[in-house]
Amino acid sequence: IEKPKEIILSGRLMRIKELREDVKDLFEEKFGLPVVRQRGLEGKAKEAAQGSAIIGDGLLGGQFKDLVEHVEIKKAGGSVLDYVKFPLSL
């Protein structure tokens, strides 16, 4: 993604105000971009369903194609825990 205009936080953990604010502050400082919370389908679909829809759209060449290509989903393998490294460094 050439010139991102914002960072969008999503997922059920972002419902936790303190965590959301900490992540927001960290990302704004680190990347110098505004950080917003995803609100598109709030109350209509759970976060996992929203994420799945975004990924599916991107894989099929839709609106989120660039995002899906950027995060290299097609190259993914294993489990999410395979990508967690300690100590965490951002």
Residue 89 lies in a domain: no
Residue 1 lies in a domain: no
Residue 31 lies in a domain: yes
Q: Is the pTM of this model over 0.85?
A: no
Residue 90 lies in a domain: no
When divided into structural domains, the chain yields a total of: 1
Q: What is the tens place of the pLDDT at every residue in 24-78?
A: 999 999 999 999 998 766 678 888 888 899 999 999 999 999 999 998 999 988 9
Element (H, E) at 47: helix 47-59
Residue 68 lies in a domain: yes
Q: What's the pLDDT score for residue 90?
A: 62
Residue 88 lies in a domain: no
Cβ within 8 Å of residue 46, ≥6 positions away: 12
Residue 74 lies in a domain: yes
Domain of 25 in residue numbering reads as 7-83
Q: What's the pLDDT score for residue 82?
A: 84
